[in-house]
Structure 1
Amino acid sequence: MIYKVYYQESATEVPVREKTQTLYLEADSEMDVRLKLKNRNYNIELVQKLEGKYLEYEQNHENYRLEQL
């Protein structure tokens, strides 16, 4: 499954909407996503499973790039 992760670069800073970044990751579950990103110093705001039309839409977006971990 493909997941879209909304995060802040630093876990020590207060989240600011304008600094929120996203990445796309293939994983078995939301917990698997969090475990894969555990070593990065990210403040994860949301992990969202992408499927169906929403996944197609994201894949056609210019910023779509599947992260390889």
Structure 2
Amino acid sequence: MIYKVYYQENMHEVPVRENTKTMYVEAESERQVRVGLRDRNINIEYIQMLEEGHLEYEKKSDHFHVEKV
């Protein structure tokens, strides 16, 4: 499954929407995403599983690059 992860790069600051970044991660579960990203020192705001229609839409983005954890 592909998950879209919304995160802040600085774990020690209050999250600000304008600073939110996203990445796409392939994993078996949301828990596996969290465990796989644990060492990156980022503040994960939200993890969204991408369904078929939404995934197809995201694939059209220039920023679409899937990481495996």
Task: Give yes or no for TM over 0.5.
Answer: yes
Look up the equivalent residue of 1:45 and give its one-letter code: E
1:28 aligns with 28
Q: Which runs of 5+ in 2 are unaligned?
A: none
1:47 maps to 2:47: yes
Q: Which runs of 5+ in 1 are unaligned?
A: none
> How far apart are residue 21 of structure 1 and its match?
0.2
Greater helix share, 1 or 2? 2
> How far apart are residue 44 of structure 1 and its match?
0.3
Q: Are residues 21 and 49 of structure 1, via their aligned partners in 2, closer, same or farther at CA, if it must alter by over 3 Å?
A: same
Look up the equivalent residue of 1:37 and give its one-letter code: L
Runs of 4+ in 1 over 6 A off after TM superposition: none
Partner of 2:12, secondary structure, is: coil
2:65 aligns with 65
Percent sequence identity over matched residues?
55
> How far apart are residue 10 of structure 1 and its match?
1.3
Distance in structure 2 (CA, Å) of the matches to 1:54 and 1:19: 23
1:14 aligns with 14
Distance in structure 2 (CA, Å) of the matches to 1:35 and 1:10: 18
> How far apart are residue 51 of structure 1 and its match?
1.6
TM-score (norm 1): 0.94
